[in-house]
């Protein structure tokens, strides 16, 4: 993970309004560099902000780039960015198709959408439709091409996602795959069973809300089936259940999830995941 520590124009003057705008999206200005191995002069610098916003900064083409220790200095036509690594940088294994865009469904599953699919849709100025194999939620993922807020004369992709049709029935026909003046077509439908998140109860999460996972199963009442049980024992049992149903079983989660996905997941700051003491802990 990297933090943007400075944004200036080419004369070294701080671009205050640009920094303010970045802070509105991501207050601590941290994120992940996408396609780090492929960044070079002439290509664009892609930076995915941490947190749940799912938004990405894509600069105008790079004019100059230098890396020194864990500091990176990126120069584009009108802007210079200074970044600093805030954790040990693990070398990415493999290429672009190993990278994912993570979406957490309200049903508690993690959808790892290959960035290659998203990039492919963006290149054609189309959207991607993500379908959850768990709860059926449909999400449209895409990007607007807008003037870059740091360099207004340049293009920049501003990623968005929204519920496909949260309240009404809606059909999808062949026409939805074509772009018209009024709508962007779908490039592809990605049906994802997602990764299930195991909880301390032994069940998988059934809900996700603002950084927290929980499961909705009933407590195992047989455990307290005995004569003369006291109220305090029952209270203790309920407290433990409430704790367990809202705590992710990290050991099991790490065991059941592919490494290259853990690498991506651990970059997001999500309250429900406690990486402490694991190889994915980021300082
Ligand atoms: Zn779902």
Report how far ligand 1's centroid is from the alpha carbon of 128 (Å).
16
In this predicted model, what pLDDT tens digit does every residue of 245-268 receive, in sequence order?
A: 999 999 999 999 998 899 889 888
Q: Nearest-CA neighbor of 72 among 31, 17, 101?
A: 31
> Ligand 1 centre and the CA of 42: distance in Å?
39
Q: For 207-248, how does the pLDDT look when each residue is reduced to its tens digit (9 = 90+)?
A: 999 899 999 888 888 888 888 889 999 999 999 999 999 999
Q: What tokens does 58 get?
A: 């894509």
Instruction: Measure 194 CA to ligand 1 centroid, in angstroms.
Output: 8
Residues 27-73: pLDDT tens digits? Answer: 888 888 887 777 888 888 989 888 777 788 888 899 999 988 788 99
Ligand 1 centroid – CA 140 distance (Å): 14
Domain boundaries, the chain: 2-85, 96-192
For residue 34, the model assigns a pLDDT of 84
Q: What is the mean pLDDT of the chain?
A: 86
Position 147 scores a pLDDT of: 64
Task: Say whether pLDDT at 111 is over 60.
Answer: yes
Has residue 116 got a pLDDT over 60? yes
Assign residue 248 a region (left: φ > 0; alpha: ψ between -120 and 50; beta: otherwise). Answer: beta
Mean pLDDT of 265-277: 89
- Residue with structure tokens 């929204």? 162
* Residues linked to residue 129 through DSSP beta bridges, in sequence order: 140, 189
Cα(24) to ligand 1 centroid in Å equals 28
The answer to whether 82 and 4 have CB atoms below 8 angstroms apart is yes
Q: Output the CA 244–ligand 1 centroid distance in Å.
A: 21
Are the beta carbons of 179 and 228 closer than 8 angstroms? no
Cα-to-centroid distance, 255 and ligand 1 (Å): 22
Q: Ligand 1 centroid vs 135 CA: distance in angstroms? A: 4
Question: What is the share, in percent, of the chain residues with pLDDT greater than 90?
Answer: 47
Distance 89 CA to ligand 1 centre (A): 32
What residues are paired with 191 via a beta bridge? 131
- Give 63 Cα–ligand 1 centroid separation in angstroms: 42
Cα separation, 13 vs 20, in Å, equals: 15
Give 165's contacts (C-beta < 8 A, 6+ positions apart). Answer: 138
Q: What stretch of H or E contains 158? A: strand 155-163
The mean per-residue pLDDT over the stretch 156-177 comes to 88
Distance 187 CA to ligand 1 centre (A): 21
pLDDT of 119 over the 70 cut? yes
pLDDT at 272 over 50: yes
Give residue 269's pLDDT band: very low, low, confident or very high (50, 70, 90): confident
Is residue 24 within a helix (H) or strand (E), and if so which, with residue range?
Answer: helix 16-25
Euclidean distance between CA atoms 125 and 143, whole angstroms: 8
Q: Is the pLDDT of residue 202 over 60?
A: yes
CA–CA dist 188, 53 (Å, integer): 22
Please give the structure tokens belonging to residue 46: 């892609």
Separation of 107 CA from ligand 1 center, angstroms? 4
């Amino acid at each position: 993970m990297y933090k943007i520590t400075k944004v200036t124009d080419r004369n070294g003057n701080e671009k205050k309004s640009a920094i303010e705008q970045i802070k509105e999206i991501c207050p601590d200005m941290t994120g992940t560099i996408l396609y780090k191995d492929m960044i070079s002069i002439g290509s664009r610098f892609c930076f995915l902000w941490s947190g749940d916003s799912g938004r990405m900064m894509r600069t105008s083409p790079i004019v100059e780039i230098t890396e020194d220790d864990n500091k990176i200095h990126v120069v584009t036509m009108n802007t210079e960015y200074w970044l600093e690594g805030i954790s040990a940088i693990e070398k990415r294994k493999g290429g672009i198709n190993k990278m994912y865009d993570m979406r957490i469904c309200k049903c508690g599953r993690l959808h790892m959408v290959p960035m290659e699919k998203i990039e492919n849709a963006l290149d054609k100025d189309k959207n991607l439709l993500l379908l959850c194999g768990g709860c059926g939620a449909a999400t449209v993922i895409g990007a607007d091409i807008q003037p870059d807020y740091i360099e207004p004369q340049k293009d920049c992709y501003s990623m968005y996602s929204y519920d496909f049709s949260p309240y009404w029935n809606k059909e999808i026909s062949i026409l939805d795959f074509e772009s018209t003046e009024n709508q962007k077509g779908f490039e592809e439908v990605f049906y994802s069973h997602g990764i299930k998140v195991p909880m301390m109860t032994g069940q998988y999460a059934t809900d996700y809300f603002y950084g927290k996972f929980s499961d909705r199963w009933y407590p195992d009442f047989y455990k307290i089936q005995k004569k003369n049980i006291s109220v305090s024992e029952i209270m203790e049992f309920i407290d433990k259940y409430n704790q367990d149903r809202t705590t992710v079983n990290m050991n099991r989660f790490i065991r059941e999830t592919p490494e290259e996905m853990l690498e991506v997941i651990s970059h997001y700051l999500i309250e429900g995941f406690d990486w402490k003491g694991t190889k994915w802990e980021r300082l």
